[in-house]
A = this chain, B = another copy of it.
Amino acid sequence: MSTNSRMSVAVHVLAWIAYDRRGTDKEVGTSERIATSVNTNAVVIRRTLGQLKTAGLVEGSRGRSGGWQLARDAATITLLDVYRAVGEGEIFALPSAPPDPECYVGYGIHDVLTKTYRDAQRALCEELEKVTVADVLHNALALYITRSGH
């Protein structure tokens, strides 16, 4: 499957912002700094942040000392929110060319598949809804502490 990594980038970005940096020299979350952690280009981060902003998950301010903040508490942002924010659509695609309507099977197959896919995707979304950005951040930090020896 040829999926994209926007979901992963978005969650990383949100977890990064959620991490409390008060008292450090990197207090302000800029696209440049976030890009360093994600290891990509700042424009990629800004594109993702634009989607998260449209979805009401983050707030950005321009100009000097601008940057990004969460619009809601990290514990209230689920991965389903993120999934929808980054515009992830259908997991399964129907062929671009419609099937032969004269064929007994072809006539209704697309409608049947559409319904089946919808059910499957609902199950996926319910699972994503169980996990919040705060969970992800917590688990990531736990790994940092237990594994890296810092």
A90-118 residues at the B interface, CB under 8 angstroms: 90-100, 103-113, 116
In the bound complex, do residue A108 and residue B144 qualify as a contact, i.e. CB atoms below 8 Å apart? yes
User: When chains A and B are docked, how far (Å) is the Cα of A88 from the Cα of B3?
Assistant: 10
Chain B residues, CB < 8 A from A104: 19, 140-141, 144
A68 within 8 A of B: no
Per the 8 Å Cβ criterion, residues 13-62 of A in contact with B are: 15-16, 19, 36-40
Q: Which residues of B contact A1 (CB under 8 A)?
A: 3-4, 88-91
Closest to A128 in B: B120
Q: Given B96, B111, B141, which contacts A143 in the complex, CB threshold below 8 Å? A: B111
Q: What is the interface of chain A, defined by CB distance below 8 A to chain B?
A: 1-5, 7-9, 11-12, 15-16, 19, 36-40, 79, 88-100, 103-113, 116, 119-124, 126-128, 131, 136-137, 139-144, 147-148
27 inter-chain pairs at a CB distance below 8 angstroms, sorted by A residue, are A1-B88, A1-B90, A1-B91, A2-B4, A3-B91, A8-B113, A19-B104, A36-B103, A37-B105, A38-B99, A38-B106, A39-B98, A104-B141, A107-B147, A107-B148, A108-B140, A108-B142, A108-B143, A108-B147, A109-B136, A112-B143, A113-B136, A116-B131, A116-B136, A121-B124, A122-B127, A124-B124
